[in-house]
Chain A
Amino acid sequence: MEQALVVSTMQLLSQILVNGVLLGGLYALMALGLALVWGVLNIVNLAHGALIMLGAYVGYYLFTLLNIDPFLALPLSMAVLFCVGYLLQRGILNLIARAAMFNTLLITFGIDVVLTQLAQIFFSADFRTINPSYAGSNFMVFGVTLPLVRVLAFVVALALTIALWLFLLHTRLGRAIRATAQNLGAARLYGVEPKAIYALTFGLGAALAGGAGDLYGVVSQINPYIGATLTAKSFAIAIIGGLESPLGVVVGGIFLGVVESLTALYIGPTFVDIASFGILVLVLIFRPNGLLGATT
């Protein structure tokens, strides 16, 4: 009797951990674009969550109107958001590239409001989900239930993260982007205009948000207002993981996912935000370079 209880508690715990890790992979992808833009352009993009939201709607409409599977729609969603990001940087953010940090915060905040309101006007405030036929399928491994879409989303998110990492390490453009993070002029050494790097990087950040949004629409409900929370979570993950490498962001994402799952089970679902944002504030105060970052 007691043994059975122990077994089921263990099983519950491993189920929760697996849920947390699966959620964390998606979180990591969400935070990746924010961390990239922050590291290279020194902009904390408060509209990042709104870009994720837009990506989710692109996926939603491709699925409902054109019947394109959300996992196949992923590149399209990323492409659309890349254009949105590229244009936002070229058309607006570039105009204040040398202004005080406070102004970049304000302007991305304004862009967030505009995107959210436009989404509400065009897409309505109703909750939506991307519901492919296999949405309810599960499979079992060692007594742990694995929802198919969550596993797929996790794998795709991880693959995109690794792809970004390889891109930054091993391509000429990737190296130019990394060099720009240290020094704006450095991009010229790679034969690329700094201005172009800024727009490309912001576009890339938006594309990652678009991909994350498409996947988010598959595993969760979307509406125009999900952006603010997602921005805050992305920020939390980037802070926890540090800005140095995509790997840190993955660790940060999984950490947050697990903490949220454990909090929901052991303390209560209404305490999830207290836990995740409480951790963010504590990390900010005690380890401003991230849990994995160097101590000063």
Chain B
Amino acid sequence: MTLRFKFILGVAAALMLATLPWFASPTLIQFGISTLLLATLAQGWNIIGGFTGYASFGNSEFFGLGSYGTAIAMVQWQLPFGVGLIFGVLLSVIFALVVGIPVLRLRGHYFAIATLALSQVMTAIVSNLEVAGRNTGLVLPLLNGDTLFYELSLAVLLLATLTVLWISNSRFGFGLIAIRENEDAAASMGVNTTLYKVLAFALAGVFSALAGGIHAYWITFIDPVSAFDLSLNVKMIIMTVFGGPGSVLGPVIGAFVLSGISETLSTEISSLANLFFGVVIVAAVVFMPRGLADLMRRFRKTGWRYFSENVKQHRL
């Protein structure tokens, strides 16, 4: 009963989102596209960060590879967008495998910083590549069709969310959760930790690269700094943590809520929006470290004590 109800609710929400372009203003559609892409990034981060517990500060690398893969295929080799998108995803997966195998052996701080350093290396490498247009970047062919981009972004987000839904109910997902909760114990219980971590990293890479490819074609211009934008990591992590890491809908809700608020704020002063992100992450980690999903589940029982209990549990 509740399962069917959830299913119907999900389909209804997806349909409502899909029909948005027919009655919304162009600005709202554009806001929608960027929010859907951010939600996709958050959902991708959720797989490696939320389920597997590996705090990647380098998922922007996948976004950048997706952008550049698409752009290079379209601009340098005159291939259609679809092929470019696949090329970008391919680059991203190869990167996840080649880099993931050594880097995912690192734990905790070491993994986080290695991914952070790698995204800086990627920016520097791309700015020295002729085929990627070096520092000046690439200009993609112009396509006026925000509705198309919107529906495409929505489709990718749906795909990512369905994948996460499958993960949360599968043997694979349980393996990832076991790794997050205690990696040594997971290995001693038969979880192929290396394979699972690399697969999770690659899967996160696939969705981030799709978002990157769509974004590049939509914006029609990319350069190393914007494609490998470090602040994208900030956003996808905050949205996931705020919504509820390791949950199915948390990252999506987190992305919608935070994008909405930051959009409202940035019409006032643009730097206020980023400041807001910083404050949210600090407050969320202190008061609701398990995210909105957990808050909504338990707030009814505990009331406002929910926040003070979280603080009590973790302070010195």
Q: Are A and B associated in one complex?
A: yes
A interface with B by C-beta (< 8 Å)? 38, 44, 92, 94-99, 101-103, 105-107, 109-114, 116-118, 120-121, 194-195, 198, 228-229, 232, 235-236, 239, 268, 270-274, 277-278, 280-281, 284-285, 288
Q: Is residue B86 within 8 Å, beta carbon to beta carbon, of the partner chain?
A: no
Interface size on B, residues (CB 8 A): 47
Q: By the criterion CB–CB under 8 Å, are B105 and A285 in contact?
A: yes
Q: By the criterion CB–CB under 8 Å, are A273 and B275 in contact?
A: no
Would A107 and B285 be within 8 Å (CB), given that A96-B315, A98-B314, A285-B106 are in contact? yes
Q: Is residue B42 within 8 Å, beta carbon to beta carbon, of the partner chain?
A: no
Query: Within 8 Å CB of B274, what residues of A?
Result: 113, 116-117
Since A102-B108, A105-B55, A113-B281 are in contact, a sample of 10 more A-B pairs with Cβ atoms closer than 8 Å, ordered by chain A residue number, is: A92-B286, A96-B289, A99-B314, A106-B241, A109-B281, A117-B275, A195-B316, A235-B117, A270-B124, A273-B123
Q: Is residue B237 within 8 Å, beta carbon to beta carbon, of the partner chain?
A: yes
Q: Which residue of A lies closest to B118 (CB)?
A: A281
Q: Is residue B125 within 8 Å, beta carbon to beta carbon, of the partner chain?
A: yes
Q: By the criterion CB–CB under 8 Å, are A97 and B289 in contact?
A: no
Q: By the criterion CB–CB under 8 Å, are B314 and A96 in contact?
A: yes
Q: By the criterion CB–CB under 8 Å, are B234 and A109 in contact?
A: yes
Q: By the criterion CB–CB under 8 Å, are B110 and A284 in contact?
A: yes
Q: By the criterion CB–CB under 8 Å, are A273 and B285 in contact?
A: no
Would A98 and B316 be within 8 Å (CB), given that A109-B234, A113-B274 are in contact? yes
Give the distance to chain A from B2, nearest Cβ to Cβ, in Å: 31
Chain B 250-291 interface mask (CB, 8 Å, partner A; 1/0): 000000000000000000010100110111111001100100
Q: By the criterion CB–CB under 8 Å, are B120 and A277 in contact?
A: yes
Q: By the criterion CB–CB under 8 Å, are A102 and B55 in contact?
A: yes
Q: Which residue of A lies closest to B273 (CB)?
A: A117
B interface with A by C-beta (< 8 Å)? 53, 55, 57, 102-103, 105-106, 108-110, 112-114, 116-118, 120-121, 123-125, 127-128, 135, 230, 234, 237-238, 241, 269, 271, 274-275, 277-282, 285-286, 289, 311, 313-316
Q: By the criterion CB–CB under 8 Å, are B110 and A288 in contact?
A: yes
Which one of B102, B105, B316 lies within 8 Å of A94 (CB-CB)? B316
Q: By the criterion CB–CB under 8 Å, are B117 and A281 in contact?
A: yes
Q: How far is it, in angstroms, between the C-alpha of A68 and the C-alpha of B230 when the chains are bound?
A: 36
Give the distance to chain A from B290, nearest Cβ to Cβ, in Å: 10
Pull 22 A–B residue pairs with CB atoms less than 8 Å apart, ordered by A: A96-B285, A102-B108, A103-B289, A105-B112, A109-B237, A110-B277, A110-B282, A111-B278, A116-B274, A121-B269, A195-B316, A228-B230, A232-B120, A235-B113, A268-B128, A270-B127, A273-B121, A274-B121, A277-B124, A280-B117, A285-B102, A285-B114
Q: Which of A94, A99, A288 has the most CB of B within 10 A?
A: A99
Q: By the criterion CB–CB under 8 Å, are A98 and B110 in contact?
A: no
Which one of A111, A272, A281 lies within 8 Å of B114 (CB-CB)? A281
Q: By the criterion CB–CB under 8 Å, are B281 and A110 in contact?
A: yes
Query: Within 8 Å CB of A113, what residues of B?
Result: 234, 274-275, 277-278, 281
Give the distance to chain B from A183, nearest Cβ to Cβ, in Å: 14
Would A270 and B128 be within 8 Å (CB), given that A110-B278, A110-B282, A118-B275 are in contact? yes
The main secondary structure of chain B at its interface with chain A is helix
Would A97 and B121 be within 8 Å (CB), given that A107-B285, A109-B234, A284-B113 are in contact? no
Q: How far is it, in angstroms, between the C-alpha of A229 and the C-alpha of B109 when the chains are bound?
A: 17
Which one of A44, A105, A107 lies within 8 Å of B282 (CB-CB)? A107
Q: By the criterion CB–CB under 8 Å, are A44 and B279 in contact?
A: no
Q: By the criterion CB–CB under 8 Å, are B275 and A114 in contact?
A: yes
Query: Within 8 Å CB of B238, what residues of A?
Result: 110
Q: How far is it, in angstroms, between the C-alpha of A114 and the C-alpha of B282 when the chains are bound?
A: 9
Query: Within 8 Å CB of B135, what residues of A?
Result: 270
Would A277 and B103 be within 8 Å (CB), given that A44-B109, A103-B289, A270-B124 are in contact? no
6 smallest CB-CB distances across A and B, nearest first, come from A113-B278, A110-B281, A114-B278, A97-B316, A117-B275, A277-B117
Give the distance to chain B from A294, nearest Cβ to Cβ, in Å: 16
Which one of A97, A111, A236 lies within 8 Å of B314 (CB-CB)? A97
Which one of A101, A228, A285 lies within 8 Å of B108 (CB-CB)? A101
Q: Which of A110, A112, A114, A195 has the most CB of B within 10 A?
A: A110
Q: Which residue of B lies closest to A278 (CB)?
A: B121
Q: By the criterion CB–CB under 8 Å, are B316 and A106 in contact?
A: no
Q: By the criterion CB–CB under 8 Å, are B120 and A229 in contact?
A: yes
Give the distance to chain B from A143, nearest Cβ to Cβ, in Å: 33
Q: By the criterion CB–CB under 8 Å, are B121 and A111 in contact?
A: no
Q: Which residue of A lies closest to B279 (CB)?
A: A114
Q: By the criterion CB–CB under 8 Å, are A198 and B316 in contact?
A: yes
Q: By the criterion CB–CB under 8 Å, are A97 and B315 in contact?
A: yes
